[in-house]
């Protein structure tokens, strides 16, 4: 190695506006890969049990929803079997919710790393999102099973499912990264996550169809309701998998703009505080 090839590392105080340094993150992709693999391996180490846990939660939630919303409350889903209707939405919802939970805790749960070794800190929430996709993959197999049970043949649109996943992951990353950064300063921010998730579940058309909200809410509230990025995720999943109505254009664009804004702001906020995490965790 010649003198010129050796990189010079500059250490200086944090600036008011810290660049994201995406090139450095790209160079550290190996770390991201192994951290994500660690989470996945540890989760599925006892193979059978690990997979069962991954699919049990959406399955049980689906069963409860079927009993409460379909059998008792008599919610109409326009011809689609209710279990299939609910599970199609629960799957991306679960991806969003579990990624959100993992990301929010990512810095705190890996504090042994954060206090002892340097790597670009944005790797932590990124690895959490990647690890979160494993559950989705197993859940997707269950969805195919349920579809087969009801003799439902999906169209080619189902191939767009990675886009739905991406939107769910980006949304959880945008929100979770804010929480992860705040969680290092104020430890009770992490406690908010289950509460946020619980409220969010019911503000999203998962257990009930969107038409029910349209029938009861004034137009402005209905518009606002559809600006929820997870509502877009869920509606898009039903659209491409079950062939139900497509998401509304303007609320969807608003939701995407909202997520983009959150994504950029969270990345910068996180970056600005990331290198001082070790002083707080």
Partner 1 sequence: MSAAATRCGIEWSFGLSETMILAENLGKQYRRGTSGGPTTLRDTLGRWLALGGSTAHPHLGGTEAFWALRNVSFEVKRGEVLGIIGANGSGKSTLLKILSRITRPTEGTAHLRGRIASLLEVGTGFHPQLTGRENIFLNGAIIGMSRAEVAGKFDEIVEFSGVEKFIETPVKHYSSGMYTRLAFSVSAHLDSEIMLVDEVLAVGDLAFQRRCMERMAKAREEGRTILFVSHGLASVNKLCSRAILLENGICTHIGTSQDVTGQYAAEASIAAEATRTPEPVVELPAPEDPVPAYGLGLAIADSGGTPRVSFEVGEPWEASFDFEVAERVPNLIAGVGLATPDGIPIATIWSAPTDTPPGRYRFTANFDLPLASGTFSLQVGLSAGDASLYLRNDVASFSVIPSTRFVQVHLDKGAGILYSTKVPEIVALGTAAVHAG
Cβ atoms of residues 170 and 99 within 8 Å = no
Total number of residues binding partner 1 (CB under 8 A)?
42
Residue 255's φ and ψ, nearest 5 degrees, are -60, -40
Using CB under 8 A as the binding rule, whether residue 45 contacts partner 1 is answered as yes
Q: Considering the complex, what minimum distance in angstroms separates the CB of residue 11 from partner 1? A: 4
Among residues 23, 71, 76, 185, which is the contact residue for partner 1, using CB under 8 A?
A: 185
Cβ atoms of residues 134 and 40 within 8 Å = yes
Region at 28 (left for phi over 0; alpha for psi -120 to 50; beta for the rest): alpha
Structure tokens of 67? 């009993």
Q: Considering the complex, what minimum distance in angstroms separates the CB of residue 15 from partner 1? A: 10
Using CB under 8 A as the binding rule, whether residue 212 contacts partner 1 is answered as no
Within 8 A by CB and 6+ apart from 224, the residues are none
Using CB under 8 A as the binding rule, whether residue 218 contacts partner 1 is answered as no
With vertex at residue 200, the alpha carbon angle to CA 41 and CA 179, rounded to the nearest 5 degrees, is: 60
Among residues 112, 153, 195, 249, which is the contact residue for partner 1, using CB under 8 A?
A: 112
Using CB under 8 A as the binding rule, whether residue 16 contacts partner 1 is answered as no
Using CB under 8 A as the binding rule, whether residue 219 contacts partner 1 is answered as no
Using CB under 8 A as the binding rule, whether residue 106 contacts partner 1 is answered as no
Using CB under 8 A as the binding rule, whether residue 117 contacts partner 1 is answered as yes
Using CB under 8 A as the binding rule, whether residue 48 contacts partner 1 is answered as no
Q: Considering the complex, what minimum distance in angstroms separates the CB of residue 49 from partner 1? A: 13
How far is it, in rounded angstroms, from Cα 236 to Cα 82?
17
Q: Considering the complex, what minimum distance in angstroms separates the CB of residue 281 from partner 1? A: 7
Structure tokens of 140? 């997707």
From residue 41, alpha-carbon distances to 32, 46, 51 in Å are 14, 9, 11
Q: Considering the complex, what minimum distance in angstroms separates the CB of residue 232 from partner 1? A: 30
From residue 228, alpha-carbon distances to 109, 247, 248, 251, 257 in Å are 29, 12, 12, 8, 11
Using CB under 8 A as the binding rule, whether residue 72 contacts partner 1 is answered as no
Using CB under 8 A as the binding rule, whether residue 281 contacts partner 1 is answered as yes
Q: Considering the complex, what minimum distance in angstroms separates the CB of residue 41 from partner 1? A: 6
Using CB under 8 A as the binding rule, whether residue 19 contacts partner 1 is answered as no
Among residues 2, 3, 79, 215, which is the contact residue for partner 1, using CB under 8 A?
A: 3
With vertex at residue 124, the alpha carbon angle to CA 119 and CA 127, rounded to the nearest 5 degrees, is: 115
Nearest Cα neighbor of 104 from 275, 272, 233, 266 is 266
Interface ranges with partner 1 (CB under 8 A): 3, 6-14, 30-31, 33-35, 37-38, 41-42, 45, 110, 112-119, 182, 184-189, 275-276, 278-281
């Amino acid at each position: 190695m010649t003198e010129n090839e050796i990189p010079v590392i500059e250490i200086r105080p944090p600036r008011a506006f810290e660049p994201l340094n995406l090139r450095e993150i790209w160079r550290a992709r190996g770390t991201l890969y192994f951290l994500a693999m660690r989470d996945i391996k540890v989760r599925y180490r006892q193979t059978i049990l690990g997979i069962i846990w991954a699919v049990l939660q959406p399955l049980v939630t689906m069963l409860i929803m079927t009993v409460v919303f379909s059998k008792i409350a008599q919610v109409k889903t326009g011809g689609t079997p209710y279990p299939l209707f609910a599970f199609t939405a629960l799957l991306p919802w679960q991806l969003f919710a579990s990624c959100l939970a993992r990301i929010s805790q990512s810095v705190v749960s890996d504090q042994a790393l954060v206090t002892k070794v340097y790597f670009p800190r944005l790797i932590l929430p990124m690895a959490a999102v990647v690890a979160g996709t494993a559950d989705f993959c197993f859940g997707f197999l269950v969805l195919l099973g349920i579809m087969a049970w009801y003799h439902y043949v999906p169209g080619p649109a189902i191939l767009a499912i990675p886009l739905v996943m991406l939107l769910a992951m980006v949304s959880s990353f945008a929100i979770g990264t804010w929480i992860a950064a705040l969680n290092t300063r104020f430890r009770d921010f992490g406690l908010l996550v289950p509460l946020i998730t619980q409220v969010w579940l019911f503000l999203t058309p998962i257990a009930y169809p969107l038409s029910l909200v349209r029938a009861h809410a004034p137009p402005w509230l209905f518009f606002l309701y559809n600006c929820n990025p997870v509502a877009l995720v869920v509606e898009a999943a039903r659209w491409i998998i079950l062939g139900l109505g497509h998401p509304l254009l303007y609320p969807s664009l608003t939701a995407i703009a909202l997520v983009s804004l959150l994504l950029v702001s969270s990345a910068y906020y996180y970056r600005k505080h990331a290198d001082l995490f070790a002083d707080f965790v």
